[in-house]
Amino acid sequence: MTEVAAKGITVLLVDDHPIVRQGYRRVLESQGDLHVVAEADNAADAYGAFKTHDPDVIVLDISMPGASGLEAIRNIRARDPRARILVFTMHNEAVLVKAAFGAGASGFVTKSSEPSAVVAAVRAVARGERAMSDDIAHALAEESLSPAGSVLDRLGEREIEILRQFVSGATTEQIASHLNLSVKTVQNYHYLIKTKTGARTDAQLVRLAASCGLTKL
């Protein structure tokens, strides 16, 4: 019997909607071997709760006010490369799934999935396996068969995060604050994103992001 199996699986829930956290706390804890040890509603608090509680699995939404789940994944994995993180979100765009895995996520499940699928994914991630809901596996398969792919595939996860915040209306100064970067660094990323995507103007960049589903975050 493994250590995780012997003591059960401890979970940190991260979502900015209290009702969602409450609902899935009940779902997880009804299993008997899954124990929610902490909750958080933003990326900064998620990082703090991870340091304090050292959970076996972090279940987090990718879309939150300020820095998103992508940044939380990046920060947690920088502290502990062994951290096991399951993204649990309403979004199923392939570019976001790949960005999450690129940042260090271990699994990706959508909120349209059955509760049993979330439970199974938590257990799989706790075992060190990769987990995806059926719709995510389908989205990745479809995207891989596209001859052109997405132009956003040219961007790294940090660039995706900055673009996400930019198209949601955040200023350069706000993005810098959310991500603990200098304004100059954000400006450099902005220029690089436009260069990689071929967008000549900010308006073109917003339209491009919209065509890839990024503005739905």
Which among 144, 166, 191 is the end of a domain?
144
Alpha-carbon distance values, 113 to 19, 108, 217 (Å):
17, 11, 18
Name the DSSP letter for residue 185: H
- Residues β-bridged to residue 14: 40, 60
* The predicted structure's pLDDT at residue 71: 86
* The predicted structure's pLDDT at residue 2: 44
* The predicted structure's pLDDT at residue 1: 32
The single-letter code of the amino acid at 133 is: S
Same domain, 85 and 187: no
* The predicted structure's pLDDT at residue 206: 86
* The predicted structure's pLDDT at residue 217: 44
Which among 144, 167, 185 is the end of a domain?
144
Which among 144, 171, 191 is the end of a domain?
144
* The predicted structure's pLDDT at residue 110: 93
Residue numbers in the chain where pLDDT is lower than 50: 1-3, 5, 217
Q: Is the dihedral of CA 45, 132, 123, 29 positive or negative?
A: positive
145-168 residue pLDDT tens: 665 556 777 888 888 888 888 888
CATH of the domain at 69: 3.40.50.2300
Same domain, 47 and 12: yes
Span between the terminal Cα atoms of the chain, in Å: 41
d(CA 122, CA 87): 10
